[in-house]
Amino acid sequence: MSDTSRQTLPHIHDVIIIGAGPCGLAVAARLREKAPGAIFTDEEHRRHRFLHRYGRSMPLKQVRNGRVTCCGRQTPSNTQDLDIVALDATHNDWCGRWNKLFKCYNIEHLRSPMFWHVSPADRDALLGYAYSQSRENELLEIHHCVGKEVSKHMRKRTRTQKCSAHSACNARVEINERDRIDYFNPSQALFSDHCRSVASRYHLCNGVVKKESVQDIKFDAVQGVSVNDEPLFTVTTDQGPQYTRTVVLSVGPANQPSIPRHAFRAFSASAPLPQVCHSTQIETFPDPIVRTRIALGQRTNVLVIGGGLTSAQLSDLAIRKGVSKVWHLMRSPIAIKTFDVELSWMSKYRNLEQAYFYSADTDEERLQMVKAARGGGSIPPRYHKKLKEHISRGRLELRTETKLVDAQLVTTEAGSRWKVETEPAIEDMPSFDFIYFATGIETDVASLPYLRTMRETHPIDEMGGLPCLTEQLKWRDDVPLFVTGRLASLRLGAAGPNLGGARTGAERIALAIQEHFEERQNEDEASEGSAVGDRNENEWERFVLGRGSKYSCLVEH
Ligand SMILES: Cc1cc2nc3c(=O)[nH]c(=O)nc-3n(C[C@H](O)[C@H](O)[C@H](O)COP(=O)(O)OP(=O)(O)OC[C@H]3O[C@@H](n4cnc5c(N)ncnc54)[C@H](O)[C@@H]3O)c2cc1C
C-alpha cells in the first residue's frame, strides 16, 4: 500500500461501545483501569496490583519449576491505551438517558444499594465517594433487609426439611449488622456525580461519547480499509459508517417500547394515539394537556397502567403535580419487593444463586431462573406506603388483577377524554385526560433492526428473545462483538439488566478484549518470527489474571 493511500484510510477504532448508559460506562472505565478491584477480595486485589505494577520490571520466579522470567520484556497490549468511542442514540454524554428519566419522574433516590455502581476501582467506590464529598446525608437507609438473621432453631428446622436442589431454603440470605453500611439507597444526584467522576478519572469525558444512532453492524473485511483482509466491524449510524476491531453492545432493554394496541380498536396499529404515552417516552410530566386543564381549575383524571416501580412513581408524581385523581391498574396482584431481584441474587451471598445459575445445563433453564428471580414488576415498601397514603386521602384508586380492554376517545366541548372499559368492569369510572403505560419494554433480539445483518451473516442461538452468548459475553468465538446489560441476561443472571450486572459484565468483556488484542499482537509478532518466548509469558499473565491455567504456563515451548 502506498503512503498516500495509507493517509487517506478511514480511522479504525479499537472499541466502539454502542449505548452510553451505566453498563457502557462500566465497560469503558474497566478498559482504562490498570488495577481493577471492584470484584476482587482485598488480598487478590493487592496481588494483582503488585504484579501489574512491578511484574514487568523485576524478575519473577515461578514456584513450580523455579524458572525465572527476566525483566525488561516487551509490554503486551494494554487496554488502557485502546482507542475507545461510545455512540449513543439520544445523548452525547454518559448516562444521558438515565439522568433524563430520573429527572422526568422526579426520582430522588435509586432503588439499588451502595455496592451497585459503575466504578471498576473498588467495590466500595460509591460509598467512599459519598463520604469523601461529605454527602452521606444523601443516603437513604433500606429497611427490612439487614439484621434479619435466622435463629438457631429456624436454621435447624431448615436443615431437617427436605429442600429441593434449587429452593429458597438453599439460598437463605443473612445480612448481618456488619454489612448495614451497604444497604442504603444513594441519591440520584450522588450516583450521577459519581458516574461523572468515574468518566473523568478514566479520561472518558471529552468527545468520547457521540450522539449517533446505530442502524447496522457488519463484520467482514472492508475493501480499502482492512489490511491483509483483517475482518472489521462496519458500524453504520445516522451519521455514516465507522470502523472498529471490536464492538460492545450495551443498549439496555434495546427494543422500542410498545403500547398494547388491542384496547384501541378505533385506531389502526400504526396510528399515533393522542393523550396516551409510554413511560419511557415522556418528555414532560404531566403532559401539557393535563397541565393546561389543571391550570384552568378543571377536575383531571389520569390512568396509569403497570405493576412496577415506575407506575408507582408516576401515580405519586401525578398526584403531587395537582392531578385530581389517579386510577392505577395492575394486571397482577401487587408485588412488594425491596429490589427488582431477590436479595439472594445481589448480596454478598449471591454466589450461591449464581452457582446454581452458572451450573444450569441449558439456556432454557437459565431463562426460567432469571424469570423466576425477577418476576413481573414490583414496588418497594417505601413507594407502597406512599400509594397507601394517597389511597386513604381519596386521591388514588388502585385496582389489581384488572385489565384495560377497551378505550374510546370521546370529544366534547370541554376537550377530548378517554372512556375506558376494564375486566373486571369498574363502575363509576371517570373519563381520563391522559393514559400512561408503565408496562416496561419487551426485549427481543430478533426484532432489532441494527442486528439484522449480524444475525444473517453470523447466526447464533436465541432463547426467550435473548442471544445465547459465549461465557466471555461474546457473540461467537470468532466474532468480537460483546454484549452486556439486559441482552446478556442468560450469562449474567437476574441482576444483569440492572446496575448489578454492569461491573460483572464489564470485567468479563475487558478481559476478553485484552485477550483479543494480545492474540492480535502475538499473531503480528509470530509473523515476524518472535512469538515463542512471549507466548509463555502471556500464559503466565493469563494465569495471574485468573483466566488461564497455571499448568499451561509450565509447558516447554
Ligand atoms: C426510572 C428507572 C429507574 C431505575 N432505577 C434503577 C436503580 O435504582 N438501580 C438499578 O440497578 N437499576 C435501575 N433501573 C434499571 C436501569 O435501567 C438499569 O440499571 C440501567 O439503566 C442499565 O444500564 P444500561 O446501560 O444497560 O441501559 P440504559 O441505561 O438503558 O442505556 C442504554 C443506552 O443505549 C442507547 N441506545 C439504545 N439503542 C441504541 C442504538 N441503536 N444506537 C445508539 N445507542 C443506543 C440508549 O440511548 C441508552 O442511552 C432503573 C430504570 C428506570 C427506567
Q: How many CB atoms lie within 10 A of CB 205?
A: 13
Cα–Cα dist 344/116, whole Å: 15
- How confident is the model over 257-281, as a mean pLDDT? 92
Task: Count the Cβ atoms, other than its own, within 10 Å of residue 79.
Answer: 21
Query: Does pLDDT of 179 surpass 80?
Result: no
Say how many C-beta atoms besides its own lie within 10 A of residue 260's C-beta: 12
CB 298 within 8 A of CB 414: yes
Are the C-beta atoms of 422 and 416 separated by less than 8 Å? no
Average pLDDT over residues 74-82: 62
Atom of ligand 1 nearest to the CA of 96: 49
Q: Give distance in angstroms: CA of 165 to centre of ligand 1.
A: 34
Query: Which of 74, 15, 41 has its CA nearest to residue 541?
Result: 74
Q: How far is the CA of 95 from the centre of ligand 1 (A)?
A: 8
Question: What is the side-by-side strand order in the sheet with 276-278?
Answer: 276-278, 434-437, 301-305, 325-329, 396-399
pLDDT in tens, 543-554: 766 666 667 766
- 21 alpha carbon – ligand 1 mean position (Å): 5
As a whole number, mean pLDDT of residues 459-464 equals 97
Rounded mean pLDDT, 468-473: 95
Which of 41-44's residues contact partners 24+ apart within 8 Å by CB, and which partners? 44/546
Do 127 and 114 meet the contact criterion of CB atoms below 8 Å apart?
A: yes
Pocket test for ligand 1, best of 98, 114, 338 (most atoms within 8 A of CB): 98
Q: What is the mean pLDDT of residues 125-129?
A: 95
List, as own/partner pairs, every contact residues 2-6 make where C-beta atoms lie below 8 angstroms and the sequence separation is at least 24, other chains included: none
Closest by CA to 504, choosing from 344, 393, 346, 364, is: 346
Give the position, in ligand 1's atom list, of the atom nearest the Cα of 97.
49
- Which pLDDT score, from 0 to 100, does residue 73 have? 40
DSSP per-residue letters across 406-445: EEEEEEETTEEEEEEEEES--TTPPPBSEEEE-------G
Cβ-Cβ contacts under 8 Å for 429 (sequence gap 6 or more): 327, 420, 422
Each residue's pLDDT tens digit, 492-541: 999 899 998 999 999 999 999 999 998 888 877 777 665 455 555 567 66
- 184-198 per-position pLDDT tens digit: 999 999 999 999 999
The pLDDT of residue 164 is 45
- Residue 53's pLDDT is 57
The tens digit of pLDDT for each residue in 523-534 reads 777 776 654 555
Angle, vertex CA 464, rays to CA 463 and CA 467, nearest 5? 45
User: Would the pLDDT of 461 be above 90?
Assistant: yes
Percent of the chain at pLDDT > 70 equals 79
Comparing 61 with 36, which gets the higher pLDDT?
36
What does the radius of gyration of the chain's CA atoms come to, in whole angstroms? 26
Distance CA 465, CA 452 (A): 14
Indicate whether 350 pLDDT > 90: no
Name the closest-CA residue to atom 15, ligand 1. 498
Give the mean pLDDT of the chain: 86
- Summarised one tens digit per residue, pLDDT across range 371-381 is 998 888 899 99
SS3 state of residue 248 = strand
How, if at all, do strands 462-463 and 403-412 pair?
unpaired
3-class state of residue 494 by DSSP: coil
Give the bridge partners for 409, in sequence order: 418
pLDDT at residue 60, rounded to an integer: 63
pTM greater than the 0.75 cutoff: yes
Residue of 260 and 220 predicted with greater confidence: 220
Q: How far is the CA of 253 from the centre of ligand 1 (A)?
A: 7
Position 71 scores a pLDDT of 47
Share of the chain above pLDDT 90, in %: 65
Could you report the per-residue pLDDT of 93-122, keeping only the tens digit for each? Answer: 999 999 999 999 999 999 999 999 999 988
Which of 94, 140, 251, 256 most suits a substitution to test ligand 1, by most atoms within 8 Å of the C-beta? 251
Distance 125 CA to ligand 1 centre (A): 20
450-456 contacts, C-beta under 8 A, 24 or more apart: 450/214, 450/215, 450/216, 450/217, 451/217, 452/216, 453/216, 453/217, 453/218, 454/217, 454/218, 454/219, 454/479, 454/481
The three grid cell numbers given for residue 42, joined into one nine-digit string: 482485598
Residues 192/135, Cβ–Cβ less than 8 Å: no
CA 552 and chain centroid, separation: 35
Distance 289 CA to ligand 1 centre (A): 28
Query: What is the per-residue burial (b if ≥16 Cβ within 10 Å, else e) of 336-359?
Result: ebbbbbbbbbbbebbebbbebbee
> Which residue's C-alpha comes closest to atom 31 of ligand 1?
21
The sign of the dihedral angle between the CA atoms of 33, 39, 43, 47 is negative
Residue 163's pLDDT band (cuts 50, 70, 90): very low
Within 6 A (CB) of ligand 1 lie 18-24, 87-90, 97-98, 101, 105, 107, 110-112, 116, 213-214, 250-252, 310, 450, 485, 498-500
Q: Ligand 1 mean position to 99 CA, how many Å?
A: 10
Q: What is the pLDDT of residue 345?
A: 80
- Tell me what pLDDT residue 2 has: 45
pLDDT (tens digit per residue) in 314-328:
999 999 999 999 999
Residue 37: what pLDDT? 65
